[in-house]
Structure 1
Amino acid sequence: MRPVRLEMEAFASYGGHEVVDFTKPRQNLFLITGDTGAGKTTIFDGIVFALYGENSSTQNRKDGIELVSQFASVDVEPYVELTFTQEGIDGEEEYKIRRVPLHYKRVTRGANKGKLKTVSSSVTLTMPDGMVYPSKETDAKIIEIVGLDRGQFAQVAMIAQGEFMTVLRAPSKDKKLIFRKLFGTDLYDRVAVELRQRANEKMEQVNVIRQTCATIAAGLEIPPNYEKREELLVLREKIKEGSLSYMEEFLSLLTELNEYLRAEETKSDEEKNQVAKELEEISTLLTQGMELKNAYEIRKSAGERWKELMAQKEERQKEKILLEQLQSADQIQAAYKLYLDAQREADRVSRQLEEAKASYPALRAKAKESEQQHKKSRDRLTEQSEKSGKVREMARKSLELFSQMEQAKENLVKVQTQAKEGREVYEKLQQSLTEMEEKEAVWAAELKALPQVQKESLLKKNGLAVAQELLGTIEEEERAEAYTKKLTENLALGQKRYEEAKEDYRKEKEGYERQYGIFLDAQAGVLARSLTEGSPCPVCGSTEHPKPFVWMGEAEVLTKEELDQYKEQVEEKNRKMMELATKCNETTATIREREETGEKRREQMGEKLNTLLGEVQSGLSCQEMREALLTHMAALEKEQEAVSQKLKELQDLEKEHDRLRSVHAKRKEETALAAEKEKKLTADLARATSLVESLKDTGEFKTREEAMQADEKAEKDLLLCRKEEEQAAAVDEADRKALLEVSSRMQSLTEELPKRQEEKSRRAAEYEEWMQKKQLQEEAWQKLLAEYAPEQIKKLRQGSEEYAKEVASVAASMEAADQTIAGREQMDLAALSEKKEKVSERLALCQQNWAAARQSASVARQIYDRLAPGQEERKAAIGKQEVLEHLADKLSGKLTGSRMDLETFVQRYYLQKILVHANRRFTAMTASQYRLELMELEDAATGKNKGLDLMVHSFVNGGKRPVNTLSGGESFMAALSMALGMADQIQESAAGIRLDVMFIDEGFGSLDDRSRNEAVRILSDMAGEARLIGIISHVNELKTKIDDQLVITKDEKGSHSRWVIS
């Protein structure tokens, strides 16, 4: 991909129409130069926006309205159009893409004319054959054509200031996150995470198995007298602690225990059954003895009671006969009472029949007279009803006429009043309508200024927002400068501490070397004393010893242990010195990085400040920029307040104008309605006047009172006749009802009398029959019942029944006792009870022993049944868990001495390829002094993961040191080399990708002349004949090294570009 032509309008700092023709440079290496804030980087932003719809920055991403130029009018449509070529099947193919960001546009017609509306973003891609590609699929198509997404394109095509410096110095853990996205190595991280998850899941399963086995084994109870009790107890505790390797031995001993417990259970059961049988026999004898004793006692008491009952037999027989006679008298008395009731009912019916026959003639005569009176009153009511109806009808009509006349007069007055009011309302509405039309015309003229004021308000708000954001950036930079100052102070203190530690280490090292020499001399003296002629020396092997060492013994000699401790002290001093040196280097690098970042940020802040102020100022401090910005913001706020007040007044006027237009339309309708109402009221007035005149001479009565009196009299006469008729009807109805009731009663009693007389005769016959049956005449049974009261009879009957029951009960008891005794003698119950108690105690003990043996055997058997079946599965699960755990630790870098994880190991492969490309430039830039290398694998995996840490190999002294120790210029060259190497690797690894453009943003100011010349030479070689490389810089020295230059300037209308070709 190679850009051919970039066209921009109203984009970022470019307010007007701008065209950059990339075919003009005669060389492929060119310089983009200009003052700070002029808009140099915006050239690359335009290319990235055209392709991907966003700017190029990864830290300050922008799209939409943020990219619309503040220097252009709202009526100008912002856009970026890029023409570029791409290698195709038939050679180079040319594409054109035009992208319009989200922006504001003024409404030109309709109700919202003059207001601003939001216009959505759009994109148009023209293919080499002239076809316009569908807009919804354009973004995906661009990635397909270029072969890179926005992030990859920004990394490959643009080396931004400071970004690769951060990558260069970042620790391995941070580099891993950066390279993960770049190289797509997240798969290896997911593999490690998945293995760790599986290992954890399997560990959870194993923990459950261990816990389950421990819980099951804990329930085992071992008899105290079991010979292998101690062995089982030890194994049980091991399993409870989670050591399942003892499970097989535990199950083997548990099998033996089960056999022992089963034998003990059988033995206890047999002993229990024998004692239970003996107890059952004793219990049977004791029960029989108790029954025999009870039978003797019952036979004795029952015999005595039988004699007493037989003594009462004669007297009880007399009472029985008396009770039978009293029962017969009671039955005869009941029949006598029924006879008396029937006789009384027959007499009652006969008497009532005679009374009804006597009253019937008088009631019949009265009913006939009442009927005649009722007929007369009914005739009078009919006559009066017709007469009163005629009079009342005449009165009603007359009253209606009188009411119509009064209503007509009232309407006449009301209509006259309404007609007058209608004329007044119509005149007022006409006047109000004229005033409204005049006011509406004045307000419409004033509202023409509203769109311009709205735009001014929006611009002021945007300006204040940008200023506020810039103020925050300035304050942040001030805090960063303060922090850098603090770091500088800390650096001076750290350097002082380093010098002190260095001196301390030198002295300690000299002391150790002196003591070590003394120790060696002393060892040599001891060895010399042990040499004998003819025996080989343990050091050189010689059998001759012409000059053995002579130890003088004047200095104190440390032991080997003391010397080792001394050496550790020296090494600790060295570590402390190295730590202080590393901290100083890191602080120096941080200060240098912050100074470079601060310079870049101040340049950006100056650029934004110049844009806001509309004038070019350079070299301002943060304090000066903040003061200038606050002054500008105060002026903006004052202007914004005035514009806001004017806008509010116009908006209020617009609302009032809309309301007035609505009221105007409504008032027009009201005026038309008032005219129609006035016309209608005039017609109503004429009709009301005519109606009053027509009603004056109509009606039968002269006055309303005369009509009302005639109506009331007719109504009273009618009511009086109706009342008389109702009273006569009531008397007639009552007399007819009384006659009907007597007639019905006579018929009913006549039918009932023979039945009552027949009932009386039947009851008399039954009474006589009962006396003959019981052989008691009336005098006899009445006398018997008179002598004995009901309570006495009840008491006699109860005593007789109880005597009979007791005789039967005593006889049954004697018979049952005789059957039980059956001629047997009584047993010794005390001896039997004592023997039973002793056998019961023996049985309880046997049952307790048997239950304990059974429970122990059951528990042991259950434990074996639960543990034995899963033994192989447990062994397999534990083995798999151990394999997964080790593999997860290995791939995650958790093993001691192997702290590098799988993803880092894979990334080293990619990073090594990048270093091959990078070192071609870095070695050349540093005059073959340095080469970038990865930390050795063994060192990178020790302590913590340092697999992606970079080292600098010096060809001068052969040593290696961390990349953080490079100077500012060396760090830039290393970062530039890394960036170029990464770009080469991405293009090499992405099949079909050929990116023939690259932009490098700043950093050359930190290089000396030789390094700068070498960097330019290498970039020129890279460009060759195919690749287009643009260096974005304001360093003056580059202007003399690079002939073709794109010069960026900025004025009150925004940024401008022009080519300078030497």
Structure 2
Amino acid sequence: MRIHRLEIEAFGPFATAQHIDFDQLGAQGLFLLNGATGAGKTSILDAICFALYGAVPGARQEGKRLRSDHAAPSAEPRVVCEFSARGRRFEVTRSPAWERPSARGRKGFTTQQAKTLLRERVAGGWEEKSSRNDEVGAELSDVLGMDRDQFTRVVMLPQGDFAAFLRSKASDRLELLQKLFGTQRFEAVERQLARQAADAAKAVEENASELKMLLDKVASEHGQLGLTEAGTETDNAASGTVTDPGLWLADVEAQVGAEWKRREEQANQADSVSIRLSGALREDQEKTLRHGRLRAATQRSVLLELAAPRALENRELLAKHRRAAVLSGQLDAVDAAARKYQEAEARMAQLRGKLAAASLEAENPDAALESVKASIAILEARLPDEQRLEELAARLAVQQRDAARQRTAAEAAAAALKQLREDATLVETRMEPLVPVAAQMAETERAAKAAAELVGIVSRYSSAAGELNLLTAGHLEARTASQDLRQQWLDVRELRLANAAGELAAALEIGEPCAVCGSKEHPNPAAAVRTALSLAQEEEEARVRFEDSEKTVGQLADQLSSAAQVVAGLEAQGGATDAAEADARLAEARSAAAAAKEAADLLEQLRGRQEKLAQRLLTVQEEHAGCLQAEGQALSTAVLLQEQHAVLEEALSTLRAGYPRLRDRLEAVTEDCALLQAAADAGSGLVRAEEAQQEASASLEKALLASGFSSATEARNDILAPADVVGLETDLADFDAETARLDELFANEDLVLAAKEVSIGELPLPEAELAEAERLAAVAADDARATALAAGLAQKSAETVRRLRSDYEALAQAGNGPRMRARMLAELADTARGAGDNGYRMSLNTYVLAARLEQVAIAASERLVAMSDGRYTLQHTDAKAARGAKSGLGLEVVDEWTGQRRDTSTLSGGESFMASLSLALGLADVVQQEAGGVDIETLFVDEGFGSLDEQALEQVMDALEGLRDGGRVVGLVSHVAEMKQRITNQLQVVKGRHGSTVRIAEAVPV
């Protein structure tokens, strides 16, 4: 993953839009991110993380307000990040939730929700992928291959975190490693195994509990029967300590079965005695009942004979009533017709009085009724006009109020227009002198930048010139020394060649040919000064010294040439300029740039004010014109409504006939109509009542002649009251029913048998003897029931014990498998969580993380060896922790110079920084591989370089420069002055009263 471009606006300390080109910044593979404390260096890293993941790193996420407090109230916070990953190029734009001022001048704020836009570059153009937060998050997570925690620890290396990680305990390292490597699945396996072991153990406990419960039930059944033969074994069953449950269950089952058979025999004997005594008792009781029923029937027969005369009299009265009751309908009709006629006469007299009081026609109400109905129809038809009149009055009042309100608004808008025009003129007057000054801002900034570069060039030229002089003197001295060494070498070589004749002469023998000339005579052999071996060795040493000096001269010549090129290049860029003059130019250029910047800022503010005034002016003009137009429309509508109201009022005043409202007159006429209608209806009712009375009287006369009554009075006298009729009918019905019942009773076989027994002298037992027989039968029955109940209980207990024994054997057999599984799962769960025989107390999750930590230590050691000049390496250790604490995530440092291993907390400040940096880089490599081989092409290292000495800083920088291999870009965040001199490509963050800004300082070409 490589970051190409970042844009920040109204975010963190950055009020205005800031553009960072990481491709330009990282052209040399290494750049420095520096700035004053609080300027916003870390905010740039926050912006990258927010763009990719929608949140800033770690603890800074909590309570952090992302929108810049320096930005304008209406400025939207925004971060744009362009990056490439997995061969694709993306641009993500994010805006956090923020409070925007309400529109149209209203007070308060409106919450703007967070926004996201993801685009991908396809075929030379940008193609929108998604604007939904969740979809963009899922897409970026898939492309980057890392979550936020991994990204902030792999791409943005926080040295403080890894220094703490280096010195922390094994238990503290667990949390960070688990977040980075995502080993929660192994913890889930541990928890799952623990749950399965607990469930299996619970199943075993439940099985044992169920077996114990079955034994308790068997013991309970045994105890209910009162058996004590089992003795101690029964007590053991109750306490759960039976030695052989199967043998004990068989013994109990045999005892219960024998007890059941014994009680069954007792029950059969008691039942036979009870049946015999109850049969004899039943015969005596039946005889006593028969004779009692005979005596009662005889008494009832005597009473019935005494009531016979009264029953005959009642029959005659009831017959007369029934003959007269046939005429009751005609009699009631005559009475009802007379009452209705009298009521109709009274009603008619009352209505005539009311008509007279209302000055209405009483003799012929029908004609008056028609006239009133016609008036009602006219009034009802005009009622809507009166409602319309009220509506016209209400609308007229509304239009008049609206016209007045629009007039007031128009006057206020006119006053606002005047004030806005005056403000616009004032702003334009202030802007005129600022325009030419602000136009020079870009030119003055370039001049200030050029002046600053010239000061730097002058300073570097002075240093380079001094270094060139030193190199020139050193080169001349080395050249002279090399020439002297060359002469020494040549002298020794000459001496060796001269001594070669003596060496050959020493080898000559008389009579043997010379190796040089071939002569066998040797008249004057040369004498050797020194041995050939010593001269050859001396010559070789002289040659080596000369060649070494030549190499030194060559190196110095190269350095001299490079220094001369640097001095020439700096001189060509103006490095020979006087330093005081360059400083004066810089101060003058910066002053001009500051003045232009101030003018440009003020001009920008005034232009914003001018634009707002112009927009407000247009708005108020539109409001003024709208108010005038609305006022005219309201006045026109009011005039039209007033004319319609006057016409309608004139038409309705005649119909009111002096009443306040048309509805009041309609109510009065409606009351008259109702009175006339009631009088007409009463006259018709009186005629009908008279005719009904005459018809009822004629019908009654005919019925009297047909029934044999001489008059209506005679018929009324024979009619009985309904209660009397019911009483007579009841008495007669009771007399007839009692007669029938006695006839049926004396015909019953029991009474016939009782009469026969009385005639022959067979009387029932006396009461005392019968009570004794009942007592003996009851005792026998109770004994039979008790023995039967005891036998039933024994049978039930025998069946229950047989069933419980079968259930116990089946349940015991079924529990074998769960017990074996529980033991296996318990051992497996203990192993996974590091318990049991695991002396290291290393869980499965810790074991996996220990393997990852070992990989991290190996990767970190490769860089720590280079940084520490081959002295230190990091090594994972699984040594047992003290006091039985969990082990497996230990780290120790190995001192290769002494061969000793020691704890990481013993490292010095600089050594700790190098170790923690190596650990961070190694961890980044391992996590990168773990994340599927994601290629990290942009890397940030945050702070910590101030604890290093000059040599250590040199070694660390060499290691960091090695990270550039393969095109990787490394950004270092630091305040160290020496790093500012070493790294020429810099991203500088400058803080100010109105927010921070960024700028890129590039290397000056030589």
Range into which the TM-score falls when normalised by the shorter chain: 0.5 to 0.7
CA contact (8 A) 1:929 1:955 kept: yes
Structure 2 vs 1, CA of residues 664 and 864 (structure 1 numbering), >3 Å: closer, same or farther? farther
Structure 2 vs 1, CA of residues 290 and 965 (structure 1 numbering), >3 Å: closer, same or farther? same
| CA–CA separation in structure 1 for the residues paired with 2:980 and 2:782 | 121
Q: CA deviation at 1:250?
A: 0.6
Q: CA deviation at 1:1002?
A: 0.4
| CA–CA separation in structure 2 for the residues paired with 1:855 and 1:424 | 100
CA contact (8 A) 2:866 2:955 kept: yes
Partner of 2:413: 440
Partner of 1:1036: 977
Give a deviation string over 1:856-902, Cα, whole Å, max 9, x none: 64453243133112221112112212221221122122336442211
Partner of 1:40: 41
Structure 2 vs 1, CA of residues 25 and 936 (structure 1 numbering), >3 Å: closer, same or farther? closer
Structure 2 vs 1, CA of residues 850 and 677 (structure 1 numbering), >3 Å: closer, same or farther? closer
Give a deviation string over 1:408-444, Cα, whole Å, max 9, x none: xxx9xxx9xx99xx99999999898766532331135
Aligned residues: 673
For 2:251, what is the secondary structure of its paired residue?
Answer: helix
| CA–CA separation in structure 2 for the residues paired with 1:916 and 1:231 | 69
Structure 2 vs 1, CA of residues 993 and 844 (structure 1 numbering), >3 Å: closer, same or farther? closer
Q: CA deviation at 1:980?
A: 0.4
Give the TM-score normalised by the residue count of structure 1: 0.51
Partner of 1:186: 184
Partner of 1:585: none
Amino acid at match of 1:256: D
Amino acid at match of 2:239: E
Give a deviation string over 1:785-837, Cα, whole Å, max 9, x none: xxxxxxxxx9xx9xxx9xxx9999675236373999xxxxxxx9999999999
For 1:162, what is the secondary structure of its paired residue?
Answer: helix
What's the RMSD between the two structures over aligned residues?
6.6
Give a deviation string over 1:843-867, Cα, whole Å, max 9, x none: 9998798678656644532431331
Partner of 1:574: none
Alignment of 1:541-620 (within 5 A): none
CA contact (8 A) 1:28 1:1025 kept: no
Partner of 1:817: 762
Give a deviation string over 1:729-754, Cα, whole Å, max 9, x none: 999979x949x958984896389499
| CA–CA separation in structure 2 for the residues paired with 1:1003 and 1:806 | 128
Partner of 1:230: 232
For 1:984, what is the secondary structure of its paired residue?
Answer: helix
1:257 aligns with 2:233: no
Alignment of 1:157-556 (within 5 A): 157-221=155-219, 229-231=231-233, 233-234=235-236, 237-238=239-240, 249-270=244-265, 273=268, 279=273, 436-443=409-416
Give a deviation string over 1:377-411, Cα, whole Å, max 9, x none: xxxxxxxx999999x99xx99xx9xxx9xxxxxx9
Partner of 1:911: 853
Partner of 2:991: 1050
CA contact (8 A) 1:290 1:829 kept: no
For 1:1047, what is the secondary structure of its paired residue?
Answer: strand
CA contact (8 A) 1:897 1:941 kept: no
| CA–CA separation in structure 2 for the residues paired with 1:211 and 1:907 | 42
Amino acid at match of 1:901: S
Q: CA deviation at 1:40?
A: 2.5
Give a deviation string over 1:331-351, Cα, whole Å, max 9, x none: 99989999x999x99xxx9xx
For 1:220, what is the secondary structure of its paired residue?
Answer: helix
| CA–CA separation in structure 1 for the residues paired with 2:262 and 2:685 | 117
| CA–CA separation in structure 2 for the residues paired with 1:210 and 1:275 | 45
Question: Alignment partner for residue 828 of structure 2, among 877, 887, 891?
Answer: 887
Q: CA deviation at 1:192?
A: 1.3
Give a deviation string over 1:100-159, Cα, whole Å, max 9, x none: 525889999989999989486343534252242333165555444444344333221111
| CA–CA separation in structure 1 for the residues paired with 2:897 and 2:22 | 46
Q: CA deviation at 1:275?
A: 7.2
Partner of 1:647: none
Q: CA deviation at 1:994?
A: 1.4
Amino acid at match of 2:636: A
| CA–CA separation in structure 2 for the residues paired with 1:114 and 1:853 | 89
Amino acid at match of 1:215: M
For 2:835, what is the secondary structure of its paired residue?
Answer: coil
CA contact (8 A) 1:1047 1:1057 kept: yes
Partner of 1:1019: 960
| CA–CA separation in structure 2 for the residues paired with 1:727 and 1:1056 | 111
Structure 2 vs 1, CA of residues 235 and 294 (structure 1 numbering), >3 Å: closer, same or farther? closer
Structure 1 unaligned residues grouped into runs of 5+:
241-245, 307-319, 350-384, 405-410, 452-653, 693-717, 755-793, 821-827
Q: CA deviation at 1:216?
A: 2.1
Structure 2 unaligned residues grouped into runs of 5+:
296-301, 328-359, 380-385, 425-617, 656-675, 711-738
Amino acid at match of 2:232: E
Structure 2 vs 1, CA of residues 931 and 882 (structure 1 numbering), >3 Å: closer, same or farther? same
1:3 aligns with 2:19: no
Structure 2 vs 1, CA of residues 257 and 449 (structure 1 numbering), >3 Å: closer, same or farther? farther
CA contact (8 A) 2:985 2:1003 kept: yes
For 2:817, what is the secondary structure of its paired residue?
Answer: helix
Amino acid at match of 1:261: V
User: Which moved further from structure 2: 40-49 or 178-187?
Assistant: 40-49
Q: Percent identity?
A: 24
Amino acid at match of 2:809: A
Partner of 2:635: 671
Amino acid at match of 1:266: K
| CA–CA separation in structure 2 for the residues paired with 1:834 and 1:674 | 115
| CA–CA separation in structure 1 for the residues paired with 2:232 and 2:184 | 56
Structure 2 vs 1, CA of residues 288 and 961 (structure 1 numbering), >3 Å: closer, same or farther? same
Q: CA deviation at 1:173?
A: 3.9
| CA–CA separation in structure 1 for the residues paired with 2:891 and 2:847 | 14
Q: CA deviation at 1:1000?
A: 0.5
| CA–CA separation in structure 2 for the residues paired with 1:260 and 1:1016 | 96
Amino acid at match of 1:262: G
Q: CA deviation at 1:162?
A: 1.7
Structure 2 vs 1, CA of residues 112 and 835 (structure 1 numbering), >3 Å: closer, same or farther? closer
1:936 aligns with 2:914: no
Alignment of 1:771-850 (within 5 A): 812-813=757-758, 815=760, 817=762
Q: CA deviation at 1:290?
A: 12
User: Which moved further from structure 2: 655-664 or 887-896?
Assistant: 655-664
Structure 2 vs 1, CA of residues 1060 and 1047 (structure 1 numbering), >3 Å: closer, same or farther? farther
CA contact (8 A) 1:214 1:239 kept: no
Amino acid at match of 1:676: L
| CA–CA separation in structure 1 for the residues paired with 2:399 and 2:189 | 91
User: Which moved further from structure 2: 2-11 or 155-164?
Assistant: 2-11
1:922 aligns with 2:861: no
Q: CA deviation at 1:998?
A: 1.1
CA contact (8 A) 1:124 1:132 kept: no
CA contact (8 A) 2:170 2:890 kept: yes
Partner of 1:998: 939
Partner of 2:91: 97
Structure 2 vs 1, CA of residues 852 and 168 (structure 1 numbering), >3 Å: closer, same or farther? same
Question: Alignment partner for residue 129 of structure 2, among 131, 135, 156?
Answer: 135
| CA–CA separation in structure 2 for the residues paired with 1:746 and 1:844 | 82
CA contact (8 A) 2:150 2:179 kept: no
| CA–CA separation in structure 1 for the residues paired with 2:775 and 2:694 | 102
CA contact (8 A) 1:900 1:945 kept: yes
| CA–CA separation in structure 2 for the residues paired with 1:834 and 1:113 | 105
Give a deviation string over 1:891-927, Cα, whole Å, max 9, x none: 1223364422111111111111111101222344345
CA contact (8 A) 1:8 1:18 kept: yes
| CA–CA separation in structure 1 for the residues paired with 2:35 and 2:689 | 133
| CA–CA separation in structure 2 for the residues paired with 1:293 and 1:387 | 94
| CA–CA separation in structure 1 for the residues paired with 2:834 and 2:421 | 73
CA contact (8 A) 1:440 1:661 kept: no
For 1:38, what is the secondary structure of its paired residue?
Answer: coil
Alignment of 1:928-967 (within 5 A): 928-936=870-878, 939-940=880-881, 943-955=884-896, 960-967=901-908
Amino acid at match of 1:984: D
